[in-house]
Amino acid sequence: MDKQCVVCHVRPALFRCIQCHKPVCDECAFKTEHGAFCGRNCATAYRDFQKAQGDQPVKKSGGLVTTLIAFLVAVAVLGFVAHRLGLLSGLLGGR
Protein backbone atom coordinates (compact mmCIF):
# COMPACT_ATOMS: atom_id res chain seq x y z
CA MET A 1 0.00 0.00 0.00
CA ASP A 2 1.59 3.26 -1.11
CA LYS A 3 -0.55 5.74 0.83
CA GLN A 4 0.27 7.64 3.99
CA CYS A 5 -1.57 6.99 7.23
CA VAL A 6 -4.60 9.28 7.67
CA VAL A 7 -3.99 9.48 11.42
CA CYS A 8 -0.30 10.45 11.72
CA HIS A 9 0.32 11.54 8.09
CA VAL A 10 3.94 10.36 8.48
CA ARG A 11 4.18 6.60 8.18
CA PRO A 12 3.09 4.51 5.21
CA ALA A 13 -0.25 2.78 5.64
CA LEU A 14 -0.22 -0.98 6.06
CA PHE A 15 -3.97 -1.45 6.51
CA ARG A 16 -7.27 0.01 5.44
CA CYS A 17 -9.88 0.71 8.07
CA ILE A 18 -12.50 -2.01 7.86
CA GLN A 19 -15.29 0.53 8.37
CA CYS A 20 -14.31 3.56 6.25
CA HIS A 21 -11.48 2.05 4.15
CA LYS A 22 -9.05 4.89 4.91
CA PRO A 23 -5.34 3.96 4.97
CA VAL A 24 -3.79 3.58 8.42
CA CYS A 25 -0.31 2.57 9.63
CA ASP A 26 0.45 -0.24 12.04
CA GLU A 27 1.20 2.10 14.95
CA CYS A 28 -1.95 4.21 14.59
CA ALA A 29 -4.35 1.36 13.80
CA PHE A 30 -6.99 0.70 16.43
CA LYS A 31 -6.97 -3.10 16.44
CA THR A 32 -9.80 -5.35 17.60
CA GLU A 33 -10.72 -8.99 17.07
CA HIS A 34 -12.49 -7.85 13.87
CA GLY A 35 -9.42 -6.18 12.36
CA ALA A 36 -7.75 -2.78 12.08
CA PHE A 37 -9.62 0.53 12.19
CA CYS A 38 -8.54 4.16 11.85
CA GLY A 39 -9.92 4.92 15.30
CA ARG A 40 -12.32 4.01 18.07
CA ASN A 41 -15.29 5.66 16.32
CA CYS A 42 -15.00 3.40 13.27
CA ALA A 43 -14.43 0.34 15.47
CA THR A 44 -17.56 1.16 17.47
CA ALA A 45 -19.63 1.84 14.35
CA TYR A 46 -18.49 -1.47 12.84
CA ARG A 47 -19.25 -3.39 16.04
CA ASP A 48 -22.71 -1.80 16.34
CA PHE A 49 -23.51 -2.54 12.71
CA GLN A 50 -22.39 -6.17 13.02
CA LYS A 51 -24.43 -6.53 16.20
CA ALA A 52 -27.52 -5.13 14.48
CA GLN A 53 -26.99 -7.42 11.51
CA GLY A 54 -26.77 -10.38 13.87
CA ASP A 55 -30.28 -9.58 15.08
CA GLN A 56 -31.63 -9.79 11.53
CA PRO A 57 -32.62 -13.13 10.03
CA VAL A 58 -30.13 -14.26 7.42
CA LYS A 59 -31.68 -14.17 3.99
CA LYS A 60 -30.22 -16.66 1.56
CA SER A 61 -30.16 -15.87 -2.09
CA GLY A 62 -31.75 -18.25 -4.59
CA GLY A 63 -28.37 -19.11 -5.95
CA LEU A 64 -27.09 -20.84 -9.00
CA VAL A 65 -28.71 -24.23 -8.33
CA THR A 66 -32.22 -22.76 -8.15
CA THR A 67 -31.64 -20.77 -11.34
CA LEU A 68 -30.33 -23.85 -13.14
CA ILE A 69 -33.29 -25.97 -12.03
CA ALA A 70 -35.75 -23.28 -13.15
CA PHE A 71 -34.01 -23.07 -16.53
CA LEU A 72 -34.12 -26.85 -17.03
CA VAL A 73 -37.81 -26.99 -16.09
CA ALA A 74 -38.56 -24.18 -18.54
CA VAL A 75 -36.66 -25.99 -21.33
CA ALA A 76 -38.52 -29.23 -20.55
CA VAL A 77 -41.92 -27.49 -20.63
CA LEU A 78 -41.08 -25.72 -23.90
CA GLY A 79 -39.89 -29.01 -25.39
CA PHE A 80 -43.07 -30.78 -24.34
CA VAL A 81 -45.29 -28.03 -25.76
CA ALA A 82 -43.30 -27.91 -29.00
CA HIS A 83 -43.55 -31.70 -29.33
CA ARG A 84 -47.32 -31.68 -28.73
CA LEU A 85 -47.79 -28.96 -31.35
CA GLY A 86 -45.66 -30.85 -33.86
CA LEU A 87 -43.02 -28.17 -34.04
CA LEU A 88 -40.22 -30.67 -33.52
CA SER A 89 -41.23 -33.15 -36.24
CA GLY A 90 -38.88 -31.57 -38.79
CA LEU A 91 -35.97 -31.75 -36.39
CA LEU A 92 -36.63 -35.34 -35.35
CA GLY A 93 -36.92 -36.79 -38.85
CA GLY A 94 -40.70 -36.77 -39.20
CA ARG A 95 -41.57 -38.94 -36.21
d(CA 30, CA 35): 8
pLDDT per position as a tens digit, 37-56: 999 999 999 999 998 888 66
Task: Band the pLDDT of 77: cuts 50, 70, 90.
Answer: very high
C-beta neighbour count of 38 within 10 angstroms: 25
Domain boundaries, the chain: 15-55, 60-95
DSSP string covering 34-93: TEEESSHHHHHHHHHHHHHHHHSPP----HHHHHHHHHHHHHHHHHHHHHHTTTTTTTTT
The residue-averaged pLDDT of 69-93 equals: 84
How much is the pLDDT for 7?
Answer: 95
pTM of the predicted protein model: 0.55
